Amino acid sequence: MPAEFAYAQWPWGTGSKEEFITSCRDLSEVGFEFFESVKAFIDTFKDDIGEFKAITEEYNVKPVSFYFHLSDNHDFDIEDLKAKIGFVAANDIKTISVQGRWSDKPATRADLEATTKTIVEYGKICRDYGILPCVHPHHNTAIMYENEIDYVMSHTDPDEIAFGPDTAHLSAGGCDPAAVFEKYKNRIRFTHLKDLKGALKSGGMQAGVEVYSNFRELGEGDIDFKGIFDVLKSVDYQGYLCGELDRSRFTNKESAKITMKYLCDNW
């Protein structure tokens, strides 16, 4: 398939069915047919997957990934995945995003070994469901800087673990996003796209994940998306281009609309 446009729906909220419904309705009205959800909604709908599917079908939007963030407890993370992976598979999803454990310091060798151990086990669990975990670099986690990305990617099997880069988080980690895309272009299976204006500013924690106040809609910041798109096109990228934003300066729907226009005009 050619690359498809998607959008992350968690900025609408992650705690209720009503927030999920609003996100699906807004994304559908903007023109998105695909979205990435977050693992919290698996808990919200775990007793009625039929209701989850009915909502997505009503608004003609399809989930294409779920976002998992690791904790500092390996056993908890593995059991959490085992409890949720059936829900993911039941929605015919082929990739999940996996963020490293939170850390405000560069990862030590022990941190990287522990994080990689969990990711490797994720790969083995997901393999039985035909799902590919995508390593997602994220600011203030154990997979933030380029050397940390390199360690995890070099110690995982490309057949079981893919790469899911995030343009703004790569930039915030001091990376050249286009160069990292180029380095791992043959392992990219899911892509998070958001812009960044100036030096990164924390906006606190939300649902166990740090969020930021100066991420921007595509084209509203400083990131070189042309260079990134050129890399993806060079390998005939067949995955999803997933717009994302922690917090909107307008409304979530308006931010999604700006990103959709940018993708239509520039991809």
Average pLDDT on 156-171 reads 97
Instruction: Parse the chain into domains and list their residue ranges.
Output: 4-266
Of residues 200, 191, 151, the one with CA closest to residue 173: 200
Total-model pTM: 0.94
Residue 24 has pLDDT above 80, yes or no: yes
How confident is residue 250, by pLDDT bands cut at 50, 70 and 90? very high
Quote the pLDDT of residue 208: 59
Residue 184 has pLDDT above 90, yes or no: yes
> How many C-beta atoms lie closer than 10 Å to residue 73's C-beta?
12
End-to-end CA distance of the chain: 15
Quote the pLDDT of residue 212: 77
pLDDT tens-digit series, residues 201-232: 676 666 556 677 788 999 999 999 999 999 99
Quote the pLDDT of residue 213: 73
Per DSSP bridges, beta strands 4-8 and 215-216 are unpaired
Percentage of the chain beyond pLDDT 90 is: 88
Architecture in CATH of 4-266: Alpha-Beta Barrel (3.20)
